[in-house]
Every structure is written in C-alpha cells, then in structure tokens.
Structure 1
Amino acid sequence: MGFAAVARVTDETWMACAVQDNISFGLKPGGKLDLRTTLCFESRAARLPIVIDRFTQDATYCNHHTPAIYGLESYISVPIILPNGDYFGNLCAIDPRPAKVSETRIVRMFEVFAQLIAMQIDNEQRQWSTEAQLMDERETASLREQFIAVLGHDLRNPLAAVDATAELLTRNPSGLDLVAVGMRLKRTSARMARLIDDVMDFARGRLGKGIPAAIGPADDLASVLRAAIGELCDSNPSRVVRSEIAIQGTVQCDTVRLQQLISNLVGNALAHGSPDVPVVVDARTEAGQLVVSVTNGGSPIEPHLLPKVFEPYWRPPSSTPGGGLGLGLYICKKIVEAHGGTLEVCSSAELGTCFTARLPVG
C-alpha cells in the first residue's frame, strides 16, 4: 500500500497523527480531511473495519465518492478503540492500485496493530494525566507555602500596630488623644480587612470559578469611580491624583467590583509611582467599550518583568516590606475577565507605567 496513516477521527474531522507516504499523496502529520469525504465516516459509525481490494469491482463501494475524490483502488481501515471504549480513530492504508488486503492474515495484522496503538495511546494519556496531577500538586504546594509566608508576614505589621495602640491605652488612657487613637485603629483594621478580602478573592480565582461579578445596569458609574478615587486621595493627602472621567450612558457592570478595580490600580500607582509625579486616571466610553487607564511616573517595570505583574504574590524588586500580599493586580485582572474584558500594562521611562482595562459596555 502506498500510503498509510494513524488518524484521529472525530464527529467532523479526520486528522493524520502519523503517516507513511510513498505515493506523494501529500498529507502530512497534522493534516486534516473532511470526515465525510473518507470511509472512516462509515467505519466510525459501525465501529468495524472496511476492507476493499478493488473499488471498481466492489458491490458496496464501487460508486462511493471517496475513491472518486482521492483516486483510490484499494483500501483498508481498522478502528482504534481505547481500552475504556472510547473511539480514537483509524489505522488505514490506501493505494491507487488494486491490492489483496482482504486476506485474513492481513486484516488480522491491522487489527493487532490497531490494538497496540490503542494501548500505547492509553498508556501515554495515563502518564500525561499523572504528570499533570503531579504538577498541579506541586503548584498548589508552592502557592500554599507562599500564601502562609506572605500572609503571616503582612499581617504581622497591622497586628503590631493594634498591639501597640492597646498598650498605650492600658498605660496612660487619660493622656491620650482618643480620636487619633481611634483613627489609627480604624486604619489598621481596614488594612487587615483588605488583606482578608484579597485572600478570599484569590481563593475564589484559584478554585477555577473566577471572581464573581453581579453585572447589572449602572447609570452613574462616573460618581462611583470618583468616590473610590476620592477615598485614596483622602488617605494620601501629599500625593496628586488627576482624574478625567467621561462615561456616557448606562454601563453593564458590577459597580462594587469596578470600584475595587479602580481602587487597586490607583493604590498600586500611589505605592510604586514617583511621589513627585501625579497619578493620572482616565475613564471613558468609546466604541462600545469602557476604557479605564491609570498611569504613574517613576522607574519603569523592566520588560522581562511585565508578564509577571498579574501573577499572584508578585511584587516588584523595589517594593518595601509590608506593602500587601501582592494579590492586587491579580485580582484586578480577574475582575476585568469577569466582565469579559482585558487588562494590559505598558511601562517606559518616558511615558511611565500605565494599566489599561477595556470592558464591554453592554
């Protein structure tokens, strides 16, 4: 036979996995055929071999379209059935010349080879599955170790602040400015609450369900975003944040999540940007999208580090201890994805570092 192939056969396609082509048939590994132009369509449906010594003399297939399309005279195709009963494809051979392929020993040889191929495929699939599970376990173990280490480290600072405040209250309650102490406790508890929220959002994202978003019509999204920016300005009075928000019409979104998005992006810009350069926030609707960008000055992110910024627990080398869990940008990306959008970053010394989210409006 001039051409032989192991083919992966699905409901619609025929794809060559391995070929031996001695007649310049032209099909290479990875090449595809429309399943209905092949006799594997019938073989798959019946789960039985099809063997033809000479199409022009075969009572069943002499007028079939397959030999006419491919110029065939002899043909054999045997199903490859995996041990679990799944249909993988066919082991087949063709030739434009007649051949005596219907002999019992030849058909049996093809059937044995098909069984061996099925066993090999099953073994490889089991090995891939085991390796994938092992990789998942290793990744989970690594993330667990990082989580424990980072969470333990970052919770230590706010807990120390709470402990110090409590110590002040017990030592000299009458000489304290209780309003100032109360504000300090509120800021510390708010920081701890943000850490816990980040952990919960991270857990949801890692479980595969993503961060939930209750998407609905928002008629005044601009005010929601301004409020989030205002809170950060109040807590960073020495920094300049310039915002230009031009959102027209109703936007389908989760306003709470978008407030979290803008808060995380602006907070990240304030934490890592140059204090001498204003943070610039731009939010507008254009071409059926809500486009939100946050830009800060300062040292750019190195090009080789840009792909890492959305990874959990990632922090730039210049970050200071106690700056958070390193989950903020990861959560931002998951929020944007929950809205069916994209989040990108670019960074240069001339233009600064800019995060841009694009979300569908409707």
Structure 2
Amino acid sequence: MQNFSKTVLDDIESINKIPAVAHILEIVCRTTGMGFSAVARVTSDTWTACAIHDEINFGLAVGGELKLETTICNEIRQHKQAVIIDHVAEDPNFADHHTPLMYGFQSYISVPITLKNGTFFGTLCAIDPKPAKLKNPTVTGMFTMFADLIAFHLDAMEELAKTERELKKEQEIAVLRDQFIAILGHDLRNPLNAISTSAQLLSRLNLDERSGRITKIIKDSSFRMNGLIENMLDFASGRLGEGITLSRTADEDLEKLLLQVVEELQAIWPLRDIKVSFNFDYPVHADGKRLAQLFSNLLANALNYSPSDSTVEIIGLSTEKEFNLCVINEGKQIPAAAMDRLFQPFSRGEVEPNQKGLGLGLYIASEIANAHNGTLKVSSTPKKTCFTLHLPFTNDNNK
C-alpha cells in the first residue's frame, strides 16, 4: 500500500468533496467518446490521480501516481496552457512524444486547473487508445468550464476551511478570556471583602474630617468594585454555559430590596436627587437578589450619565398581569449606533473620560431580564433616557 503525504491526502479529499466531480468525469467521457478521464494533482514532484472515470481499464486508481517526467501534465504545469491531441500518430508535435508511446493513447486533452490566487493545482484530463475529435469550441469550452468550476469549488473550500480555523481560534481565545475573567473575579473577592470590612470598621471610629472622607472613598470604591466583580462573574458564567441562574421567591419583599439599592447608591451620590415611586400591590414571583442587581446597574448607569443637578426618577409597578420597573434620567440622547449594541458585552457607546468600566452592566441586566422571561428595553430622546424592565406574569413565572 502506498504511503501518501498529508498534503496529497488532503488534495484527494478536497477533490472528492466536490459532488460534481464524478459527474464531470462521466460527462467528459460521454461527450468526447473517450474511455478515461481524471482530475490530477500536479506538483513539481508528483502526478497523483485525485478522481477518475475509467471505462478502458487503464489501471490507475484514486491516489495512483505516475512518474511526473512521463506525463504531458508536467509540461502543462510549466506553460499553463491546455494540450489537445485528436490523433497522436498524425500530430507532428506529439507523434514521437514519449508519453503517448509509453501509455498507448491516441487522443488526449488536458486543461489546467488554476486557483484564484494563480496557483496551479493540476489538470482535468482525458485519454483514449482511439483518435477523437477534440479540437472544437464545444469540447474545449466544456473542459475549460469544468476546470474553472473545480477551481472555484477548491477556492471556496479553502476559504471555508480558513474561516473555520479562524473561528476555532477565536472560540479558543474567548473561552480562555472567559475563564480568566471568572478566575480573576473569584480571586478579587477576598481582598475586596477585606478592604470593605476594614472601611466599615474605620467608619465607626471617631475620625477627623479628612480621615472620614478617605474612609468614605474606600467604601464607595469597594461598592463599585464589588459590582464590577459581580458583572464579571455573571458574564463568565453565561459565556461558559451556565447562564444566569435564578432562585425565585414568591414572598420576596422586592420593594425593600430595591429601596436598599437606592440607599446604597444615594450614599455614593449624596447630592443627587433620586425620586422613587413604587406601587407593588401584587407579589412578584422572581429572584429578588437578581432584580436588585439589575436595578443597581440601571440606577448607577442613570446617575453616571445624567447632569449632577438633575433628578433620576424610578417608577415601579406590579399588577395582576405584569411587573414594570422604569429608571428615567435626563442627559444626552443615546446615539442610534450605540443603541444597536447597548446590551452587548464590552460595549459602552460614547463614554466620558471619567466614566470608565467594563461595559458589562447593561449586558448583565439584559441577561437577568431574559432569565425571568422578561425584556429590558430603552428609549432615548434629547431630553431623557428611560430603561424599562417588563416581566409578564405567566404560569412559568409563578412556578
């Protein structure tokens, strides 16, 4: 059994992945009356049959090789022109040529298969021990068209393989990135908890004004860092296949949880006006902690992107059929281009120099809404921007 290199095996496989090749070789023989046709891979070293149609028992199988110097295809590889012989014995250029004498054919046609980048792949060829009428536009045009078609398919498969390789590489990079984010998030939690706890203890001491301000900065920064870590971990969890997990509670005091978020953020922005209007007449069967996380992202976003002298308005309402939570702020209109990617990870739209972050907050908020079978939408005008969480109450919500 012959030992083929990986390159040769790849070439044979590529040709045989083209469904039309078998039909092309059959049509070639039927149209010309010739008994043997093939697609050959021709390099500077080898001639290899990638596909064949044999009605004359020529004796060459797929993968079979001919000594390169004995073939006319070797000459075609060099001058890149088709060679057509109706009757070897009557052809002054080939009557004494060593190839017909060696292989015993009288009619011959071989057309180069040239790839898009100009690379010579091989030939589409046919032979027969009897003469044939080949030098006419119908036959030459057919062979040229079929050779071009094979080249087109080879180019398309190479492009597809290249895209698949790039996609696989991107997927591997994405997995490594997400794993890194998850590990980083977990590793950051312990030192951050230590910093936050220490700041809490310091705030209870009788500190002077300057020390009190520094302690508050540490507390506020710890709060923001904790939010970033939570978003990082949720993002990594979602990308690694676990998704946003929920723990629904039927009697969750959602109003209390949301007001707690308002208090925490009000402490960070003590001079900001936050107007709250809640009307929770009906219980909301949801994961209160997750909704609080969503709300914290929306409210922090509203406070970050609105004028310092403006009011951020919060409206929450539960009815028998649905739950809605709106966070409204004044400020610049969100550009249309940014709106299209607002809920995508690492997308932050137009960001002021002092407003830095990972761009995960709105993505995580949207994922939390989706996990609740709800929606998170945004509308923005030159005067105000409104983010609205909508949770319809269905049988699934109430389980």
Q: Following the alignment from structure 1 to structure 2, what is the Cα–Cα distance between the partners of residues 264 and 301?
A: 17
Q: Match of 1:291, as an amino acid?
A: N
Distance in 2 (CA, whole Å) between partners of 1:128 and 1:251 is: 49
1:322 CA drift (Å): 5.7
The change in CA–CA distance for 1:196 and 1:213 in structure 2 (over 3 A counts) is same
* Residue of structure 2 in register with 1:278 after alignment: 311
Distance change in 2, residues 1:136/1:252 (3 Å): farther
The AA in structure 1 aligned to 2:232 is V
Q: 1:89-128 maps to which residues of 2 (within 5 A)?
A: none
How far, CA to CA, are the matches of 1:357 and 1:294 in structure 2? 9
Match of 1:206 among 239, 252, 261: 239
Amino acid at match of 2:245: P
Tell me how far apart the structure 1 counterparts of residues 299 and 389 of structure 2 sit (CA, whole Å).
Answer: 13
What residue is the counterpart of 1:313 in the other structure?
A: 346
Residue 295, structure 1, aligned to residue 295, structure 2: no
CA drift of 1:230 comes to 1.8
SS at match of 2:328: strand
The within-5 A match list for 1:198-347 is 198-286=231-319, 288-321=321-354, 323-347=356-380
- Tell me the residue number matched to 2:385: 353
Quote the sequence identity (%). 32
Q: What pairs with 1:23-102 in structure 2 (closer than 5 Å)?
A: none
CA-to-partner distance for each residue in 1:43-81, whole Å, 9 max, x for gaps? xxxxxxxxxxxxxxxxxxxxxxxxxxxxxxxxxxxxxxx
Q: Give the SS at the match of 1:263.
A: helix
Q: Which residue of the partner structure matches residue 64 of structure 1?
A: none
Count of aligned residue pairs for this structure pair: 224
What stretches of structure 2 of length at least 5 have no aligned partner? 1-155, 196-206
Summarize deviations over 1:129-172 as a string: whole Å, max 9, x none: 984574364266379779989x99xx9xx99xx9xxxxxxxxxx
1:219–1:147 Cα change, 3 Å: closer
Amino acid at match of 1:320: P
1:214, CA displacement in angstroms?
0.8
1:138 to 153, 162, 170: 170
Contact 1:283 1:291 in 2 (8 A): yes
- 1:192 is matched with 225
Given that residues 274 and 299 in structure 1 are in contact (C-alpha distance below 8 angstroms), is that contact kept between their aligned partners in structure 2? Answer: no
Cα offset for 1:307? 1.3
The answer for unaligned runs of 5 or more in structure 1 is 1-123, 163-173
Secondary structure of 1:266's counterpart equals helix
Correspondence 1:9-24 to 2 at 5 A: none
Query: In terms of mean alpha carbon deviation, does 225-234 or 127-136 score higher?
Result: 127-136
Offset of 1:265 from its aligned partner?
A: 0.3
Taking a change above 3 Å as real, the CA distance of residues 125 and 349 of structure 1, as seen in their structure-2 partners, is same
Distance change >3 Å, CA 215–CA 175, structure 1 → 2: closer
Instruction: Quickly say closer, same or farther: Cα 1:298–1:257, change in 2 above 3 A.
Output: same
CA contact (8 A) 1:146 1:313 kept: no
Q: Which has the larger radius of gyration?
A: 2
Instruction: Report if aligned partners of 2:179, 2:236 keep a CA contact under 8 Å in 1.
Output: no
* Residues 175, 219 of structure 1: alpha-carbon distance in 2 compared, 3 angstrom cutoff: closer
CA RMSD, aligned part only?
3.9
CA distance, structure 2, for counterparts of residue 228 and residue 125 of structure 1: 55
Shift of residue 296, structure 1, vs aligned partner: 0.7
Moved more, 226-235 or 261-270: 226-235
The 3 A distance-change label for structure 1 pair 243 and 146 is same
1:281 Cα shift? Answer: 0.7
- The structure, 1 or 2, with the larger RCO (C-alpha pairs under 8 Å, 6+ apart) is 1
**Secondary structure at the counterpart of residue 281 of structure 2:** coil
Q: Contact 1:309–1:315 at 8 Å: present in 2 too?
A: yes
Which 10-residue stretch deviates more, 283-292 or 312-321? Answer: 312-321
TM, length-normalised to structure 2: 0.48
Compared CA separation, residues 238 and 208, structure 1 to 2 (3 A): same
Question: In structure 2, do the counterparts of structure 1 residues 332 and 131 end up closer, same or farther at CA, with 3 Å as the change threshold?
Answer: same
Counterparts of residues 139-178 of structure 1 (less than 5 Å): 141=173, 178=211
Task: Please give the alpha-carbon distance, in whole angstroms, between the structure 1 residues aligned to 2:265 and 2:304.
Answer: 11
Cα contact 1:339–1:360 (8 A) shared by 2: no
1:128 positional shift: 6.7
Deviation digits for residues 273-327 of structure 1 (CA, Å, limit 9, x no counterpart): 1223211111101351111111111110011210111111111323334622111
What SS does the corresponding residue of 1:241 show, helix, strand or coil? Answer: strand
> Using the alignment, how far apart are the partners of 2:344 and 2:162 within structure 1?
25
Query: In 2, distance between residues paired with 1:215 and 1:131?
Result: 42
For residue 256 of structure 1, give the secondary structure of its aligned residue in structure 2: helix
